[in-house]
């Protein structure tokens, strides 16, 4: 079986590789906007499905398996996407400081005959972050490709996250335990 990861994310590549799978990477430049009526996990699944739709023509055989994902950060029903500037990143982290937010990853897994989509949710609680910590993180780690302006595997995750409820790898961008179960369903 040929597995295709429809993502340029270094974290998703790292996680899928750590799961023991050999895979190829294909990406598609898609519009990541979504209908206003969607909320939380529905947004993540919608964007993952848009990625899969764009890459579906690259599946060559019935055994090719495509995996696409999208991760969003929600704070009190506000979606915090990828920051557009250092100031935007710092603003997002100030919003997250001292609060619990939710991370949703939507995943679409499909071959030419079947398709499944699912999501995972993780609650992440940040301690009260000092402005100096936020400035240091943004200036040194440049989290501009990360939803919510942070990577839990980065420095800020080590010093700023008080607790998580749910999958750690989901926060990184790929809920590996659930994904492994879904891949097994396609293999059987």
Of the candidates 7, 11, 17, 6, the residue with the CA atom closest to the CA atom of residue 143: 11
**How many other C-beta atoms are found inside a 10 Å radius of the C-beta of residue 78?**
10
CA distance 169 to 165: 12
CA distance 84 to 164: 26
Residue range 76-86: mean pLDDT, rounded: 94
Cβ–Cβ < 8 Å for 48, 69: yes
CA distance 138 to 89: 7
Domain ranges of the chain: 3-187
Among residues 29, 70, 120, 154, the one annotated as catalytic is 70
The dihedral formed by the CA atoms of 140, 135, 151 and 104, expressed in degrees to the nearest 10: -150
CATH says 3-187 is which class?
alpha beta
CA distance 126 to 69: 24
Residues in the chain: 188
Residue 62: the pLDDT is 84
| pLDDT digit string, tens, across residues 109-163 | 999 889 999 999 999 999 999 999 999 999 999 999 999 999 999 999 999 999 9
The dihedral formed by the CA atoms of 89, 95, 99 and 103, expressed in degrees to the nearest 10: -50
Q: Encoding tokens for residue 158? A: 């080590």
| pLDDT digit string, tens, across residues 21-50 | 999 999 988 988 899 999 899 999 999 999
Whether 31 is a known active-site residue: answer: no
Q: How far apart are the first and last CA of the chain?
A: 12
CA distance 176 to 155: 22
Taking the model in full, what pTM does it have? 0.94
The share of the chain scoring above pLDDT 90, in percent, equals 87
15 has pLDDT over 90: yes
Report the half-sphere exposure of 92 (CA within 13 A, side-chain side).
27
């Amino acid at each position: 079986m040929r597995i295709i990861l429809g993502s340029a994310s270094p974290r998703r590549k790292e996680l899928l590789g750590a799961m023991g799978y050999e895979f190829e990477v294909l990406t598609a430049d898609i519009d990541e906007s979504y209908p206003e009526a969607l909320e939380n996990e529905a947004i993540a699944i919608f964007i993952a499905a848009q990625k899969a739709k764009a890459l579906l023509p690259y599946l060559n055989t019935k055994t090719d398996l495509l995996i696409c994902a999208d991760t969003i950060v929600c704070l009190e029903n506000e979606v915090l996407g990828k920051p557009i500037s250092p100031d935007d990143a710092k603003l997002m982290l100030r919003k997250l400081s001292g609060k619990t937010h939710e991370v949703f990853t939507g995943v679409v897994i499909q071959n030419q005959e079947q398709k499944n989509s699912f999501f995972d949710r993780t609650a992440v609680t940040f301690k009260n972050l000092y402005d100096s910590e936020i400035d240091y993180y943004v200036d040194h780690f440049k989290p501009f490709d990360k939803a919510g302006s942070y990577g839990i595997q980065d420095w800020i995750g080590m010093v700023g996250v008080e607790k998580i409820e749910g999958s750690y790898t989901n926060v990184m961008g790929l809920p590996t335990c659930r994904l492994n179960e879904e891949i097994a369903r396609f293999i059987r």
